[in-house]
């Protein structure tokens, strides 16, 4: 197997988007993989995770990661099966977590994959509730948000892979959890299935009034993953000493340059000042050393005991990843968006 | 003395400003003080502190304090001498710190004044380096900014009562201190007299290039007390995990409503996210319990040993307080602005 020529069908960055990505920014191609070198593994990709942060990697603008180059394979977390291995401890047939991107096959350094136990949890959860999005929610809420019993936690994109976990962990901490989501179906799911105390539809014309109504004691933690008008609505409801973990800003990733006014920064900073707010940006990687072992233990337990529930939105075929990704940035997915690249 | 009728010459809030305060927002009047009740003291005001936060109290907009009512005496910290006392432990002749506002005499509850030792330090320093502005700098820098040796601290309004202390304490912590000030005189003072490593003139057309030049290793702490274009210039220079204590926003206090665009908030939040910034608003009062005793000890020592220097900008006569205050909001003062209401 290791000497065999393997082809990978893949999506590459064809051009950088201006504003929202369009089809022309992506290109489907087939490439021949290099032979498997010493210390490497050959992977067959099964699941590909699609996440909002990828929008940032498509641009050259300031970010925490280097931008992709034109013609690079689109980046992304993946669950894969090992077809061949020249890395000790990883064997053909093993399931692994890798960062192989939008493609069907890949050759990776064995040191950069992590073995998964397919019996412990469904494989795809390694990209969601038991993976990066789940850990983002866990670390951001517990390390920065620090809700205590009786406090009120608000999170937007509440039916998504991060927001859904934020609210459920908030409940497990004894806090009130309020979700913001787009449309009545997602709100019903957030309240009914996920057990948030309340869910508010940000598309409703009475969104501001409804949000104010369900937080009679104000908001102590606002887990920020959208930005934009939702943030403007939340700010006046924040309590003194409220914490705002800033995890993402999906509503603004497609904004070109400096948007038109009015200038919202003075009002924002005035809230920061007069309410003694803590606004803290983060990416999950900074918390791995301190929080990851606890996360794996807690979350595995919570998922098994159904105290934390999750939902996946599965799309078949790597060729459909661009359309699914464009929908993600518009909130059209419902649950963790995963591309099934191949059957398990 | 306690039965004698005493008149107070005072400045009251005549109307609320729209944008920058103008003369018509203030009114000079003379009022008869009530008799000194049990537990009260009669004060002759000597020094009045003028500070940017007072602008907020003149408006009804959201703030951490109740707004003043029309016809209220303008608020402010004061150093006074006791003329008569019906409060045990405070005697006629004592010097006290009070919050009596823009007037020549006041009757206060004895419990709300604090005795000052006129031999320990000049009386006016109780309004500056040894008072609220000094403590604001101390607590904001040490509790939120937490600079460590070798880090770079940037502060604007660096010749002012808060900024000057921020930079000098940063130096005492082993950090590099960079001051931003308006005009070459203030910059010379910040570098030469206060001993900052560098000072940059925000009025210079090359301000952005000059600031970037003097922070070759980026900025680890930005002590925010101005907002506006200075903040925009600082943001791209902040390092990952930089801390931004938000102490004041003097450049925007006079802005009416929502200013014209472009909208600066998306870019700001993008820095918060991608650099994992901590932005934390505060007022000094929240730190009093934990930090005030240490402040008094440290700062008295530092002032006596001249490791912390200060400068006062003294204006004579309560009737001149409005003009001095309007100048303060435009950065026309040079040093801690104090009104000498009467001779010591």
Using the 8-state DSSP alphabet, how is residue A307 labeled?
S
Instruction: Decide if B276 and A271 are in contact by the 8 Å CB cutoff.
Output: no
Q: Note whether B115 and B138 are same-domain residues.
A: no
CA atoms within 13 A on the CB side of B66: 4
CB nearest A272 (choices: B270, B271, B281): B281
**Portion 37-56 of A in contact with B at CB < 8 A:** 56
**Portion 94-113 of B in contact with A at CB < 8 A:** none
Residue B50 lies in a domain: yes
Q: Note whether B111 and B136 are same-domain residues.
A: no
| CA distance to partner chain A, nearest, from residue B227 (Å) | 8
Residue B293 lies in a domain: no
Residue B1 lies in a domain: no
Q: Does B4 touch chain A (CB under 8 A)?
A: no
Q: Note whether B206 and B332 are same-domain residues.
A: no
User: What is the residue-level pLDDT of chain A in tens, covering all 344 positions?
Assistant: 555 679 999 999 999 998 899 999 999 999 999 999 999 999 999 999 999 899 989 988 756 677 899 999 999 999 999 999 999 999 999 999 999 999 999 999 999 999 998 888 899 999 999 999 999 999 999 999 999 999 999 999 999 999 999 999 999 999 999 999 999 999 999 999 999 999 999 999 999 999 999 999 999 999 999 999 999 999 999 999 999 999 998 888 777 667 888 999 999 999 999 999 999 999 999 999 999 999 999 999 999 999 999 999 999 999 999 999 999 999 888 989 999 999 98
Q: Note whether B95 and B202 are same-domain residues.
A: no
Question: According to the model, what pLDDT value does residue A228 have?
Answer: 92
**Domain containing B96 — which CATH number?**
3.90.180.10
| CA distance to partner chain B, nearest, from residue A243 (Å) | 9
Q: Does B146 touch chain A (CB under 8 A)?
A: no
Residue A140 lies in a domain: yes
Mutate to test the interface with A, among B60, B266, B271 (most CBs of A within 10 A): B266
CB nearest B249 (choices: A227, A273, A286): A273
Residue B305 lies in a domain: no
**Positions of chain B with pLDDT lower than 70, given as ranges:** 1-4, 62-64, 256-257
The helix or strand, by DSSP H or E, that contains position A41, with its residue range, turns out to be strand A40-49
Residue A219 lies in a domain: yes
Closest residue in B to A232 (Cα–Cα): B265
Q: Note whether B183 and B318 are same-domain residues.
A: no
CB nearest A255 (choices: B252, B260, B266): B266
The two tokens of residue A121 are 């949890």
Q: Does B276 touch chain A (CB under 8 A)?
A: yes
**Domain containing B239 — which CATH number?**
3.40.50.720
Q: Note whether A68 and A45 are same-domain residues.
A: yes
CB nearest B276 (choices: A236, A255, A281): A281
Q: Note whether A171 and A145 are same-domain residues.
A: yes
Cα–Cα distance for residue pair B46/B317, rounded to 1 Å = 10
Cα–Cα distance for residue pair A215/A176, rounded to 1 Å = 9
- The model's pLDDT over B219-253, given as tens digits with 9 standing for 90+, comes to 999 999 999 999 999 999 999 999 999 999 888 87
Domain range enclosing A33: 7-128+312-340
ipTM value of the model? 0.90
CA neighbor of A32 nearest in space, from A71, A4, A63, A60:
A4
Residue B302 lies in a domain: no
Q: Note whether B154 and B236 are same-domain residues.
A: yes
Question: According to the model, what pLDDT value does residue A119 have?
Answer: 86
The secondary structure of A144-206 as a DSSP string is II---TT-EEEESSTTSTTHHHHHHHHHHTT-EEEEEESSHHHHHIIIIIT--SEEEETTSTT
The two tokens of residue B44 are 């002759």
Q: Note whether A180 and A318 are same-domain residues.
A: no
Q: Looking at the 3D structure of chain B, how many domains does it have?
A: 2
Q: Note whether A280 and A143 are same-domain residues.
A: yes
Q: Note whether A124 and A147 are same-domain residues.
A: no
Residue B232 lies in a domain: yes
Q: Note whether B145 and B159 are same-domain residues.
A: yes
């Amino acid at each position: 197997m290791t000497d065999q020529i393997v082809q990978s069908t893949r999506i590459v960055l064809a051009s950088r988007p201006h504003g929202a990505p369009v089809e022309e920014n992506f290109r489907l191609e087939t490439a021949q993989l290099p032979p498997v070198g010493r210390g490497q593994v050959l992977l067959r990709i099964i699941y590909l995770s699609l996440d909002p942060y990828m929008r940032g990697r498509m641009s050259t603008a300031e970010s925490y990661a280097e931008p992709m180059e034109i013609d690079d394979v689109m980046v992304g977390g993946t669950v894969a099966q090992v077809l061949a291995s020249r890395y000790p401890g990883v064997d053909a047939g093993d399931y692994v977590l890798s960062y192989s991107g939008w493609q069907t096959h890949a050759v990776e350094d064995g040191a950069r994959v992590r073995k998964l136990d397919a019996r412990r949890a469904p494989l795809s959860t390694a990209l969601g509730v038991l993976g990066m999005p789940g850990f983002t929610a866990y670390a951001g809420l517990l390390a920065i948000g620090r809700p205590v019993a009786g406090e009120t936690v608000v999170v937007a994109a509440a039916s998504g892979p991060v927001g859904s976990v934020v609210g459920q962990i908030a409940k497990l901490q004894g806090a009130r959890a309020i979700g913001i989501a787009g449309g009545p179906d997602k709100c019903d799911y957030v309240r009914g299935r996920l057990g948030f105390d309340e869910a508010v539809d940000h598309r409703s014309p009475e969104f501001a009034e409804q949000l104010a109504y369900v937080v009679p004691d104000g908001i102590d933690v606002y887990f920020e993953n959208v930005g934009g008008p939702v943030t403007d609505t939340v700010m006046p409801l924040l309590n003194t000493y409220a914490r705002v973990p800033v995890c993402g800003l999906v509503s603004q990733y497609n904004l070109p340059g400096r948007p038109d006014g009015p200038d919202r920064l003075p009002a924002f900073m005035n809230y920061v000042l007069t309410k003694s707010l803590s606004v803290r940006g983060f990416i999950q990687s900074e918390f791995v050393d301190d929080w990851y072992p606890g996360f794996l233990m807690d979350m595995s337990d919570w998922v098994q005991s159904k105290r934390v529930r999750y939902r996946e939105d599965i799309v078949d075929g790597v060729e459909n990843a661009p359309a699914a990704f464009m929908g993600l940035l518009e909130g059209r997915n419902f649950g963790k968006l995963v591309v099934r690249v191949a059957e398990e």
